[in-house]
Structure 1
Amino acid sequence: MIKLRLAIVGLACLIAYSSYGQSGQYSNPAAPVGNPVLTVPSSVVPVMDQWMRDTYVMTGPDGYYYMTGTTATPGRSFPGGRVHCWDYNDGLYLWRSKDLQQWEPMGLIWSFDRDAAKWQQKGKPLEPGAMSPNKDRLDSFYRAVWAPELHYISSKNKWLLVACMNGGAGSFVLESVSGKPEGPYKNIKGNKQQAIFPNIDLSLFEDNKGQVYLIGHNHFIARMKDDLSDVAEPFRKLIETPYNPDPYIEGVFITKHNDRYQLLQTVWSVKKADGTFSYLRNDKNRQDSLYSYDVVVAEADNIYGPYGPRYAAILQGGHNNVFKDKNGQWWSTIFFNPRGIMGTKFTVTCRPGLVPVKWVDGKLRPDPERAASFYATLKSN
């Protein structure tokens, strides 16, 4: 009888273990590098000549599309004409468009010198001799704002900006005091004195019931108060089906499709000794081993999870967001990351771009036919 009970328990554990997906309770780490169906189409090029990382685009309620991203202070360059924002920039910029092709600059909408709280202005001293990934010597302190996102909260008729600071200073949320996307913006109560979230890459999601959530780097979530002044609960970890072990993950974003929550994350692939590629990294500190900057997706019925196994969705398109245009078609952003071996194929890097995407059998992937049509029109204008 004891042996029978043990056998039944063992069978139940095996069924539970296998029900998670590809490899039990873990996501399959194989990276499909070279798969043309999942790779950003070659027709995709920058939509404007503006140095930018972490491109973010959303569809506004006023008929405009709005773009923001990590930018460099205008006119600040380094040997060889290189530009970067690793140590310092002056704030947040915004652009708008009626057609996703012609973009109108709206200027500096949040400035460190004009709008920042004391903790945001303070910055952090650099270690002596610090260098950027471009091998340029950095300034004496960190004070840059990265990865901004603009969100219109339809249930509250409010515009919010979320962004993060470099140097480990954390993330924050801003609210437009004019009720317009161009601001001016002020810190919400929850981050007037300190960061609302202690890490980088903060994102935001509004559910169809009007509940607003902050999504934090790289696996955290907290619901906001109804008045959007602060978080209503402590940040908690999302319930996920991780890789084993989980590598460094960034660029977290949540959207909804077919009434299911879609968790988008960015993972670097690396080449293994046998010539295959994996999202598992044994040498996290070696930049020369990075291969492709990829978007992976997992889905769940509840925003907190559990999220099912991750799958590769957009190769080379990492740290993106996805949005629907005015016609209901889906798009993803890109910034042509120069890092990684596959990034070296881009003739121009750190520029904003758009990738038409589609859902096939419930999974996200690039749409090469729409991409070819969109960029053919862009080149002719």
Structure 2
Amino acid sequence: MSSTEDRPRLARRSLLARAAGAGAAAALPVAAAPGAQAAPAPGGHTPAAPAGRHPADWPDPAPYGRADTRLDLWPREDNSFVLPLELRPRDEERGTVWMRDTYVNCFVVDGRPLYVATGTTRVPGLEAAGPWNDGIFVWTARSLRGPWKLADTTRIRPGAEKGKVWSPEFAGENRPGRTVVAPWQEYWYDERFGKRGQAWAPELHLVRGTWYMVACMGDHSRKVGSFVLVSEGGVEGPYRLVEGNLEKPFGDPYTGGPDFIEPGAYHHIDGSLHSRGEDTWLVLHNHLYAKFRDDMEDLVTPTGLPGFRQTPYTPEPYLEGAYVFAYAGKYFLLHAAWDRTSIDADGTPRHAYDVPGTGRVQYQYDAVAAVSDHFEGPYSARWTVGVGAGHNNFFEDAHGGLWATFFRNPNFGHWSNPSRLADAAVPGVVRLEWTGPKGNRLYVRRRDRH
């Protein structure tokens, strides 16, 4: 589900690029060093562009809630590519890392660009990342095009699988005063599923020189919801759990998820982080947010979290992957929404971000966004950012270029067709375009911009 700090980042990166040149900047080392600083975000910076050169906003399909399915909003060969992540032994037969919830970001570490990538992956022998997976892997690169290498975790866990920074199987590393895996995160077993427990939708953030990972324990875990890990070293770890998650995920439990989840075990999933100056907030999938304490070990107010002020659809469907991206003095709130196809009363095809219903078929897992002058809102009406690009994040590259991630959902819809599965569940990135200070929209880079 990226700008994580609301300070001028683009200007600093542009200076780096001009000073070193594009080729030199791409070749800079990526090793995280002590004292690394987070790249400032572009919240207060408006990129310069000649008058009249910004692409135009597109009129939205009507009524509000209809999905825009134009091919220009798809990730295509001319505007996107799949990251060439270093393969693990489990990936070699496929030739590409199987990944959902792709997350990519670029930070400045000791004056040098550092790209990071992570996401939800699966274990050999399973077709999905459940009912269990083996944790979270991280890749780093010198440039967006690579080469992408697994984070070097060999000094932390000699002989273990390289690149794995956290897993329920690390419970044996717990020590008094230092918890790596809480009891509610450990693997467990039942007669229906056998081995259970998985980590979903991880993200990496660099806050005041320290690496944090926010992720979620998925549906088959003892408790379902978002948690935060803090690194005691570089991007490779070692990571431990923050104090606020020793007993449970963040936020209040609520009724949700599949029927096999025990009452009270389901919390808010798909957590993300957003920083502004010295303050950092947790952002949760169903539109909630909460401020962290200064030490980042827990939320200031752990329960009764407030919600963003939004312009909802009518009725509002289930949305996932909430993420806030600051750019050009604005805040962009992202969600993943299923475009469901059906037939309108006049017999024409209907594409809309609908609630489930008879005759409504899942088609594409889209990225939708809204914009606001303030982090808390109020946010504008939403628009379609990218077709099939849902559950993503936005980020700036080392030269100020804008990108979104995508993964092509293999569970339902267009990418679940057997003929397309080989191209689904991938670590993809697609270029974005900004429509300028008047329109203030971000879209997948379109061919027909006007």
Q: TM-score, normalized by length of structure 1?
A: 0.79
Given the superposition, is the C-alpha separation of residues 157 and 190 from structure 1 closer, same or farther in structure 2, using an over 3 Å criterion? same
Question: Is 1:279 the equivalent of 2:357?
Answer: no
Q: Which runs of 5+ in 1 are unaligned?
A: 1-20, 129-138, 370-381
Which residue in 2 is equivalent to 1:377?
Answer: none
Provide the residue aligned with 1:88 in structure 2: 132
- Does the 8 Å CA contact 1:356/1:368 hold for their aligned counterparts? no
- Amino acid paired to 2:181: A
Q: Quote how far apart the aligned CAs of 1:305 are.
A: 1.5
Q: 1:177 to 1:254 in 2, by over 3 A?
A: same
CA contact (8 A) 1:41 1:366 kept: no
2:114 matched to 1:60? no
CA distance in 1, matches of 2:81, 2:410: 14
Partner of residue 266, structure 1: 336
| Match of residue 214 from structure 2 | 162
Task: State the partner residue of 1:37.
Answer: 72
**1:190-209 deviation per Cα after TM superposition (whole angstroms, max 9, x unaligned):** 112221232210011111x2
Contact preservation (8 Å) 2:75, 2:444: yes
Q: What residue identity is the alignment partner of 2:148?
A: W
Partner residue, 2:236 = 182
1:120 correspondence with 2:180: no
Q: State how far apart, in whole Å, the 2-side matches of 1:262 and 1:27 are.
A: 22
| Matches of 2:198 and 2:320, distance apart in 1 | 18
User: What is the deviation of 1:45?
Assistant: 4.0
The answer as to 2:240 corresponding to 1:150 is no
1:352 matched to which residue of 2?
427
1:317 aligns with 389
Deviation at 1:122, TM superposition (A): 4.9
Give the one of 166, 171, 176 matched to 1:110. 166
CA distance in 1, matches of 2:327, 2:114: 22
Asked if structure 1 preserves the Cα contact closer than 8 Å seen for 2:73 and 2:446, the reply is no
TM-score calculated relative to the size of structure 2 = 0.68
How far off its partner does 1:142 sit? 2.7
Structure 2: gaps (5+ residues):
1-58, 85-95, 152-162, 171-179, 252-266
Cα shift readout 1:148-206 (whole Å, capped 9, x = no counterpart): 000001xx21110000011252110010012x111110111111222123221001111
Q: 1:4 maps to what in 2?
A: none
- Matches for 1:298-317 after TM superposition, within 5 Å: 298-317=370-389
Match of 1:332 in 2: 404
1:232 matched residue in structure 2: 300
> For the residues of structure 2 that align with 1:122 and 1:71, how far apart are their CA atoms?
16
Deviation string 1:223-256 (CA, Å, 9 cap, x unpaired) is 1111111111242121111001110100111011
Asked whether the equivalents of residues 290 and 339 of structure 1 are also in contact (C-alpha less than 8 Å), the reply is: no
Structure 1 distance, partners of 2:278, 2:373, is 17
Q: 1:120 to 1:27 in 2, by over 3 A?
A: farther
User: After superposition, what is the alpha-carbon deviation per residue over 1:39-64, rounded to whole angstroms, capped at 9, x for unaligned?
Assistant: 22244342231111101011122222
Question: Equivalents in 2 of 1:309, 1:200: separation in Å?
Answer: 24
Distance in 1 of aligned mates of 2:100 and 2:407: 5
Query: For 2:184, what is the secondary structure of its paired residue?
Result: helix
Matched-pair contact (CA < 8 Å) for 1:214–1:224: yes
Q: Counterpart of 1:356 in 2: which secondary structure?
A: strand
Partners of 1:51 and 1:231 lie apart in 2 by 33
Deviation at 1:368, TM superposition (A): 5.3
Which residue number in structure 1 is paired with residue 228 of structure 2? 173
One-letter amino acid matched to 1:272: S
- The counterpart of 2:444, out of the listed 366, 371, 375, is 366
Instruction: Pick one of 276, 284, 295 that aligns with 2:367.
Output: 295
Asked if structure 2 preserves the Cα contact closer than 8 Å seen for 1:332 and 1:357, the reply is yes
1:141, 1:320 → 2: CA distance? 28
Aligned-pair identity (%): 32
Cα distance in structure 2, aligned partners of 1:169 and 1:282 = 23
CA RMSD of aligned residues (A): 2.3
Letter in 2 for 1:97: A
Report the CA distance between 1:123 and its aligned residue: 4.5
Q: Which amino acid in structure 1 is aligned with residue 108 of structure 2?
A: P
Cα distance change on mapping 1:279 and 1:124 into 2, 3 Å: farther
Offset at residue 282 of structure 1 (A): 3.5
- The one-character-per-residue Cα deviations of 1:251-281 (angstroms, maximum 9, x if unpaired) are 1110112211110001001112131211112
Aligned mates of 1:236, 1:141 — CA distance in 2: 36
Q: 1:28 corresponds to which residue? A: 64
Q: Give the superposition deviation at 1:36.
A: 2.4
What's the offset of the Cα at 1:125? Answer: 4.1
- Specify the code of the residue in structure 2 equivalent to 1:212: T
Q: In structure 1, the residue corresponding to 2:244 is in which secondary structure? A: helix
Aligned mates of 1:124, 1:238 — CA distance in 2: 37
Q: Which residue of 2 aligns with 1:77?
A: 125
Given residue 279 of structure 1, which amino acid in structure 2 is its aligned partner?
Y
